[in-house]
Amino acid sequence: MKLNKNRMTKETAIEVSLNLKDASHITVETGLPFFDHMLTLMAFHAQVGLVVKAKGDLHVDDHHTVEDVGIVIGELLKEALEDKTGLERYGHAYVPMDDSLARSVIDLSGRPFLVFEAQFTRDRVGEFALENIREFFTALVLNAKITAHVSLFYGQNAHHQAEAIFKAFGKSLGRALKHSSQGLPSTKGLL
């Protein structure tokens, strides 16, 4: 299932394509090379196809671009997950990245909630402000209507810290999206 969405504001122009069935095509161009790298890792480990083309007011800073990309990816996930029949629903992953260790636990619950616990050893990697990682996941989770608990346990290298988080989130999302023979994964009969 391939879905496309655009978001145009005075601050950003975002085009995203998401494919939950075919992970063969991942291309990310946001004007923020480190963010491109993180989104590529996330999609690869989630085993989903992702194409992102974003132009934002990077002359101001990277906040609007990062947040708006999260909004659009979240909206596409919500659309793709309207019928959760046959999905595993829950996913979790611990991912080490050299000196760093992160965990992500996801519930495709229809109830948006984010717990994000991470302290980075520096403020930026390249031109990317690491505080915007929380903003990205907040936007994605709220718009996808999923529950996610993301934790960075430790690490020394800020690049590794961020990479462990994005890989863990991707891996846990991929597991939650896996096929299950259980039917609708809820005793309520509705998600």
Task: Please give the tally of structural domains in the chain.
Answer: 1
Whether the CB-CB separation of 169 and 112 falls below 8 Å is answered with no
User: Does a structural domain hold residue 148?
Assistant: yes
User: Does a structural domain hold residue 186?
Assistant: no
CB within 8 Å of 134: residues ≥ 6 apart: 116, 118
HSE toward the beta carbon, residue 131, CA cutoff 13 A: 5
150-176 residue pLDDT tens: 999 999 999 999 999 999 999 999 999
The rounded mean pLDDT for the chain is 94
User: Does a structural domain hold residue 182?
Assistant: no
| Residue bearing tokens 């959760």 | 84
pLDDT at 185 over 90: no
14-56 residue pLDDT tens: 999 999 999 999 999 999 999 999 999 999 999 999 999 999 9
Note down the domain range covering 165: 2-176
The enclosing domain of 30 has a CATH number of 3.30.230.40
**Nearest C-alpha neighbor of 128 from the set 63, 43, 39:** 63
pTM score of the predicted model: 0.94
In angstroms, the CA 22 to CA 2 distance is 8
pLDDT for the residue numbered 189: 62
| Residue bearing tokens 């760093």 | 100
In angstroms, the CA 118 to CA 112 distance is 19
Maximum CA extent, the chain: 50
pLDDT at 182 over 80: no
pLDDT at 122 over 70: yes
